[in-house]
Amino acid sequence: AITDSRQKLQNSFRSWISGDTEITNSDIITALQTVVNFSLNSPPHFSALISDWIEIRSNHLAASCEPLFVQSQSFEKDPSGYQPGSHPLPEAFAHAHTLLQNEEVFMAGIWPTTAIGPTFLRSAQIVRDLAVSTVESITGKMKKALARREYADQVYLFNVLGDFYSAVHSGGSLESLAIQVLLPSLKYFVTTTATLLTDLIGEIRGTIPRALERPFAVAQNATVYELTSITVNVLKRIEKDDVVVDSILFGQSTNNWDGTLTSFDSCDYSSIKRYFNDIIGSLESSIDAKSKTLRKPMQTLIFQLNNYNYLEKGLGHIKSELIDSSLIKRYEQIIDALKRSFLNR
């Protein structure tokens, strides 16, 4: 008779945890708590309830999260430019975060404290896997674009990252179970997206494989160096998400960085300003070195003039927090000197 009663309770238990409404239904929560308490003196029965919970709640969480994650993986940026807030990834994570938070509260009203953590993490494993695979898909596309040297087209991911970070961290403690499920994918997204910054400076300095294997050629008509236009376009776009980028660069400067970002509210622009200065200094060295590969002195002069003029025009409107205040003035002086040399030939 006891076995039959336990089986009936288990069947009811499975039925009660199969949908959304039970989370706010106090009668169902009380009934579920009664079933769990009744099973505490029977380890096999308690284990069976745990297994039922993991199976059913895992399927429920997956069904609720998967559509937005799939939509995030198939997102294609508008060819005319990224519209901030249009990427579904932050919404997918905000939805998953809310769902997991509700699940954590739901479990707290039913299960003994010692069972909540392990059971929650096992039932939420499918959400963790969906989140990681989604981020891997998005950053995988980015890596392919960087291999084609499409740096500027990928800068929009810093905007997505800012929204993504806010969605995962909104109103939740870093120690919460919901955050523990989503944090690995967030850190992976941060560290992988950060490669855009390191690859760009490696491209300019010629220290990454593709820069060594496929160096940028200088046109014999001494037009603007392709690397100059790429760099200026990237820096101008980065400016729009400077707080996010500053936090990433600060993280990269620390030992054993795991992708944790500092609060965007604490941004002092020191890391991103240092990066901009490093990028610009390296680009100037590259321009000067490349100019010397041209066969004629006049070509060298025109190449330098074109590139410094492009830098002066392109960086002239970037806010002073990101570049040295004397930079544009220095470019104006360089351009004037090059013009005088040109006229004196």
| C-beta separation of 168 from 179 below 8 A | yes
Of the given ranges (30-39, 128-137, 155-164, 332-341), which has the lowest mean pLDDT?
30-39
Provide the 10 A C-beta neighbour count for residue 100.
25
Segment 68-97 shows an average pLDDT of 90
Per-residue pLDDT at 19:
66
Q: pTM to 2 decimals?
A: 0.89
The pLDDT of residue 299 is above 60: yes
The pLDDT of residue 161 is above 70: yes
The pLDDT of residue 137 is above 60: yes
Segment 188-210 shows an average pLDDT of 94
Per-residue pLDDT at 217:
85
Determine the Cα–Cα distance for residues 313 and 322; give it in Å rounded to an integer.
Answer: 16
Per-residue pLDDT at 1:
44
Determine the Cα–Cα distance for residues 331 and 308; give it in Å rounded to an integer.
Answer: 6
Residue 129, C-beta contacts closer than 8 angstroms, at least 6 positions apart: none
| C-beta separation of 122 from 195 below 8 A | no
CA dihedral 13, 14, 20, 22 (to 10 degrees): -10
The pLDDT of residue 58 is above 70: yes
| Arithmetic mean of pLDDT over the chain | 89
Segment 77-103 shows an average pLDDT of 89
The pLDDT of residue 345 is above 80: no
Per-residue pLDDT at 96:
93
Per-residue pLDDT at 176:
86
Segment 251-267 shows an average pLDDT of 87
Band (pLDDT 50/70/90 cuts) for residue 174 is low
